């Protein structure tokens, strides 16, 4: 009797465990079954917010569930990211961020998470070049002119950085070293005040993602001398690349989607598929028109890309001795 009772207990336990496993599997198969929060750790209106909201809307249209953007700015984009790192690994809290996310831990010891251990890389969304923009008052028509002007005025040309450790910041430091020029780097709290001062002539230059520069570029309130991609942009074929003057110079801002660590594989794959599906809609042409490069990539591809980019960024940070104040 005791043996039979023990067998029945084991059978019931096995059945219960199996039921939980099946329930989890069904839940993952039905994902998303409710609205998903997408944290963007920047204020509304900037390049990261614009791209993130466009993507979120397409994913909502495709899945029939809301992908609700929540802006959690502050801490050099660490506050919002930390919220995602601490959230449940169920796919209902995600992070959409720019590559400042992977750079900040290289320049600050106070970042409360490890990018590669506390997050699941889901999808590379887009990458785009940086625009080398200068004030209309700067007597330069091209990169060579700018270099000559900077060498004639060492330390006098003020170049903004929208945030410490941003892709634009790294691009500026790369330009200084590649061209052998001395620029005065001026930190700003975001791109909006930087553009205000650039247009007003209080500063002379600003390296910022093309999307951020575009409205000022089109209105001729700033001069864009070059872009930092390997090839000229199809949307701006008359604008040269920096590498045409400084061979080998190439850097991008890029945007990705992450979840907390240990995100279930099925959820990661579903999200990755939805991102790539969204990039096959009219969103693709909108991003291409704004200078972005797009290519479908798996979550594993994105994780590899992230590791390699962190290594490249770490070298730039070390060479320029960039650190938080």
| Per-residue model confidence (pLDDT) at position 28 | 53
Give the mean pLDDT of the chain.
91
| Per-residue model confidence (pLDDT) at position 43 | 86
- Band of residue 29 on the pLDDT scale cut at 50, 70, 90: low
| Per-residue model confidence (pLDDT) at position 154 | 97
pLDDT > 90: what percent of the chain? Answer: 78
Which candidate, 104, 107, 61, places its Cα nearest to that of 79? Answer: 104
For 129-244, the fitting CATH number among 3.40.190.10, 3.20.20.10, 3.40.30.10, 3.40.50.720 is: 3.40.190.10
Angle at 235 between CA 229 and CA 239, to 5 degrees: 55
Q: Average pLDDT for residues 166-178, to the nearest whole number?
A: 95
Domains 28-127+254-320 and 129-244 alike in fold:
yes
Rounded CA separation 269/150 (Å): 49
For 28-127+254-320, the fitting CATH number among 3.30.70.580, 3.90.1150.10, 3.40.30.10, 3.40.190.150 is: 3.40.190.150
| Per-residue model confidence (pLDDT) at position 119 | 98
Which candidate, 210, 204, 213, places its Cα nearest to that of 185? Answer: 204
Q: Does residue 37 come out as left (phi exceeding 0), alpha (psi in the -120 to 50 range) or beta?
A: beta
Q: Are 322 and 258 in contact (CB under 8 A)?
A: no
Rounded CA separation 127/294 (Å): 7
Please give the full DSSP string across 8-39, using - where no structure is assigned. HHHHHHHHHHHHHHHHHHHHHHT--SS-EEEE
Boundaries of every domain in the chain: 28-127+254-320, 129-244
pLDDT at residue 13 above 90?
no
What distance lies between CA 181 and its chain's CA centroid?
Answer: 28
Rounded CA separation 98/41 (Å): 9
Cα radius of gyration (the chain): 23
Pairing of strands 205-209, 158-161: parallel
If 0-12 CB within 10 Å is exposed, 13-18 middle and 19+ buried, where does residue 89 land?
middle
Count Cα neighbours of 81 within 13 Å in the Cβ-side half-sphere.
28
């Amino acid at each position: 009797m005791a043996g039979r009772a023990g067998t029945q207990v084991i059978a019931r336990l096995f059945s219960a465990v199996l039921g939980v496993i099946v329930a989890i599997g069904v839940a993952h198969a039905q994902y998303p079954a409710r609205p998903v929060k997408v944290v963007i750790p920047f204020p509304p209106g900037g390049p990261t917010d614009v791209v993130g909201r466009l993507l979120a809307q397409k994913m909502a249209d495709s899945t029939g569930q809301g992908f609700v953007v929540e802006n959690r700015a502050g801490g050099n984009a660490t506050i919002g990211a930390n919220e995602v790192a601490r959230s449940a690994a169920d796919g209902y809290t995600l992070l959409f961020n720019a590559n400042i996310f992977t750079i900040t831990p290289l320049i600050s010891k106070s970042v409360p998470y490890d990018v590669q251990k506390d997050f699941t890389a889901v999808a590379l969304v887009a990458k785009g070049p940086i625009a080398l923009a200068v004030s209309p008052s700067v007597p330069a028509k091209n990169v060579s002119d700018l270099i000559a002007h900077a060498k004639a005025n060492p330390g006098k040309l003020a170049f903004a950085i929208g945030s410490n450790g941003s892709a634009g910041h790294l691009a500026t430091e790369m330009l200084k070293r590649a061209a052998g020029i001395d620029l005065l780097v001026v930190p700003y709290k975001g791109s909006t005040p930087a553009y205000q001062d650039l247009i007003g002539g209080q500063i002379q230059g600003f390296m910022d993602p093309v999307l951020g520069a575009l409205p000022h570029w089109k209105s001729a309130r700033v001069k864009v001398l070059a872009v930092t991609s390997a090839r000229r942009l199809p949307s701006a074929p008359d604008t040269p690349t920096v590498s045409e003057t400084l061979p080998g110079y190439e850097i991008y801002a890029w945007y990705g989607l992450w979840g907390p660590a240990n995100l279930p594989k099925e959820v990661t794959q579903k999200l990755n598929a939805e991102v790539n599906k969204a990039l096959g809609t009219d969103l693709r042409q909108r991003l291409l028109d704004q200078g972005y490069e797009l290519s479908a990539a798996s979550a594993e591809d994105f994780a590899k890309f992230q590791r390699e980019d962190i290594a490249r960024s770490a070298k730039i940070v070390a060479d320029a001795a960039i650190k938080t104040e």
